[in-house]
Structure 1
Amino acid sequence: MAAGQDSALIDRFLEMLAAEAGAARNTLTAYATDLRGASGFLHGRLGDADAAALERLAESWMQLARSTAARKAAALRRFYGFLADEGLRGDDPSGALPRPSTQRSLPRILTHGDVERIFDEIAAALARANPVPLDYRLAALIELLYGSGLRATELVSLPRKAISPDRPFLILRGKGERERLVPISDRARRAVAEWAAFVPVDSPWLFPSGKSHLSRIRLYQIIRALGARAGIPPERISPHVLRHAFATHLLEGGADLRALQAMLGHADIATTQIYTHVDSKRLVELVNSRHPLADIKPRVDDSETRA
């Protein structure tokens, strides 16, 4: 991969970062500096660097402050995650990078009230005298994001006939080319069927746009605009936040962690465990009400009976 290709990949990543996270100019500048610096060290081979190359790069950070090395590693991990999501790489070599801290930040989530306001906005749009086709598209997008936990890339690139009205599941090939079974709710299948009536019959995509399908960046913009109408600040909502909400709310409802891992397509259960940040009071109540010992009366000490 030539240096010019590195530059194009970095620009594409920064464009996505601005749309997904609403990153400030200073943040984007920092990412650009770190990534272009890494590309220079690797002689323009950042995009196709292997684990050994990244280990050499990390060694060059030995004299840097711990926080600086952590920032550079985080930028690269996010960059390679983006390449994998976009299908630009079949692997993610960032496991070779150092992790100065093992503590992971909790994902941003939406409350149940947030989600209700989002669906109220969609319902209001569809209840108008003459809903426009894009209202039906929005309903289908949100139902699949929040109802099935699809990744943004998986969602926008769905084939036109991927979801059938009489089949309550979808087989997806996601990150790392892993296949998984994704349940599709009755609501989502109904929303997709209503939107599909507006999709050109010769389109290979469920969500077409121009000569291809809806882009991830356009999806972020659509979700943020919907969030604004529902009173949700733009930094609190994105397609990935809706995926987080899907996972968190399922766990709060009693879903099994292994089942959730399968639905989300996580290779490692440790990734899914980040969603166990539920209210501690609820966990205590869960143990008290659902644990087998909850039905067993405590033994009364004989000495207490005789006293």
Structure 2
Amino acid sequence: MRLELEDFVHYIKIERGLSINTLQSYQRDLKKYLTYLTEQRSIDSWTEVARSDITQFLYHMNDTGVSQATLARSLSSIRLFHQFLQNERITAVNPSIHIETPKKTAKLPKFLSSEEVDRLLDIETDEPLSIRNKAMVETLYATGLRVTELVSLTLSDLHLMMGFIRCLGKGSKERIVPLGDIASSAVKQYLELSRPLLVKKQLTEQLFVNHHGKPLSRQGFWKILKRVAEEQDVKKNLSPHMLRHSFATHLLENGADLRSVQEMLGHADISTTQIYTHVSKRRLREIYSKHHPRA
């Protein structure tokens, strides 16, 4: 693997005419990359490198506290190197394609506690809009959908008898997500008692509609969620994505495996899902510190 790296450095030096400083930066970046692959991932051939290996390396770099500029430059070096390997027919594919630079803001996602979720979902269902609101919030927490996926649901996406919904995620990728008994019950109540009154005689396939019977927008749902949080005395600055974070965190805290959570969230790469394991570990440390007499 080191030989191909030396060939690449020779290539960019002769063919591209890069400056000494840029050349040295490429060398530094790729040496770190090679060390990580061989020592941390136990890879001994460039043909074995997968997209997940590259993203893991970038997250590893991110965790060491490097700047956003360094991360971007490292990814640029890796992309150019893998392009070189493919052009030279050393590898058949370029695993670095479409990888985005990890955001430097390595903050753990914020989420609601189980108690806060219970309080949020304790919505009085005494009129059509509150019945709809409960159905939407229950569905969002039960499935971990993105807000765009939620408001895009149609009647044909709903399979209450079988207990799941079908949604189209990023890149129009279809996935099936369990709905759960409580959310299913809330949606069923909405379909029977609320939606007909909101839609009236209009024909629409949209599952969740606004008070005019029209498709609900992302902004419209955001406002509804803010209002519900205020009414239910949830103090956190709640967003639809925080409920998605809560869904994933609570699943992992209660023993769900990472691959299943990845599939339900619709993450293309498991490294994206792994952030929730950090949240769960932090939560365990907080519980330990709070309750262990010798913590």
- If the TM-score is normalised by the length of the shorter chain, which range does it land in? 0.5 to 0.7
Q: Is the 8 A contact 2:143 2:178 kept in 1?
A: yes
Paired residue for 1:193, among 169, 173, 188?
188
CA distance 1:177–1:69, change in 2 (3 Å)? same
**Cα distance in 1 between the residues matched to 2:254 and 2:281:** 12
Q: State the Cα deviation string for residues 261-297 of structure 1 (Å, max 9, x = none).
A: 01110000000001112145848x9xxxxxxxxxxxx
**What is residue 293 of structure 1 aligned with on the other side?**
none
1:139 is aligned to 2:95: no
Q: Is the 8 A contact 1:114 1:230 kept in 2?
A: no
**What is residue 154 of structure 2 aligned with on the other side?**
159
1:244 is aligned to 2:245: yes
Q: Is the 8 A contact 2:166 2:176 kept in 1?
A: yes
How far apart are 1:165 and its partner, in Å?
2.8
How far apart are 1:231 and its partner, in Å?
2.3
Q: Is the 8 A contact 2:153 2:167 kept in 1?
A: no
Helix, strand or coil at the partner of 2:234: coil
Structure 2, gaps ≥5 residues long = 1-65, 71-96, 288-295
CA distance 1:118–1:177, change in 2 (3 Å)? same
Q: TM-score under structure 2 normalisation?
A: 0.57
CA distance 1:168–1:280, change in 2 (3 Å)? same
**Cα distance in 2 between the residues matched to 1:100 and 1:238:** 20
**Cα distance in 1 between the residues matched to 2:227 and 2:146:** 19
**Cα distance in 2 between the residues matched to 1:259 and 1:208:** 30
Q: Size of the alignment, in residue pairs?
A: 190
**Cα distance in 1 between the residues matched to 2:247 and 2:283:** 21
CA distance 1:99–1:259, change in 2 (3 Å)? closer
Q: Is the 8 A contact 2:110 2:245 kept in 1?
A: yes
Helix, strand or coil at the partner of 1:180: strand
CA distance 1:252–1:275, change in 2 (3 Å)? same
Letter in 1 for 2:208: F
Paired residue for 1:218, among 189, 211, 220?
220
Letter in 1 for 2:128: P
**Cα distance in 2 between the residues matched to 1:95 and 1:153:** 22
**Cα distance in 2 between the residues matched to 1:167 and 1:253:** 23
Q: Is the 8 A contact 2:158 2:166 kept in 1?
A: no
1:208 is aligned to 2:209: yes
**What is residue 105 of structure 1 aligned with on the other side?**
107
Helix, strand or coil at the partner of 1:213: coil
**Cα distance in 2 between the residues matched to 1:273 and 1:192:** 31
Helix, strand or coil at the partner of 2:280: coil
**Cα distance in 2 between the residues matched to 1:281 and 1:267:** 26
**Cα distance in 1 between the residues matched to 2:99 and 2:171:** 17
**What is residue 80 of structure 1 aligned with on the other side?**
none
Q: TM-score under structure 1 normalisation?
A: 0.55
**Cα distance in 2 between the residues matched to 1:254 and 1:218:** 34
Q: State the Cα deviation string for residues 7-56 of structure 1 (Å, max 9, x = none).
A: xxxxxxxxxxxxxxxxxxxxxxxxxxxxxxxxxxxxxxxxxxxxxxxxxx
**Cα distance in 2 between the residues matched to 1:259 and 1:100:** 25
**Cα distance in 1 between the residues matched to 2:224 and 2:108:** 24
Letter in 2 for 1:263: M
How far apart are 1:161 and its partner, in Å?
3.6
**Cα distance in 2 between the residues matched to 1:218 and 1:211:** 13
Match runs of 1:163-178 below 5 Å: 163-178=158-173
CA RMSD after TM alignment: 3.1
How far apart are 1:233 and its partner, in Å?
3.1
**Cα distance in 2 between the residues matched to 1:248 and 1:154:** 19
Percent of aligned positions with the same letter in both sequences?
A: 40
How far apart are 1:173 and its partner, in Å?
1.8
1:149 is aligned to 2:151: no
CA distance 1:261–1:96, change in 2 (3 Å)? closer
Letter in 1 for 2:232: A
How far apart are 1:171 and its partner, in Å?
2.2
**What is residue 265 of structure 1 aligned with on the other side?**
266
Q: Is the 8 A contact 1:147 1:246 kept in 2?
A: yes
Match runs of 1:39-188 below 5 Å: 101=104, 104-120=106-122, 122=123, 125-126=124-125, 131-188=126-183
**Cα distance in 1 between the residues matched to 2:282 and 2:100:** 34
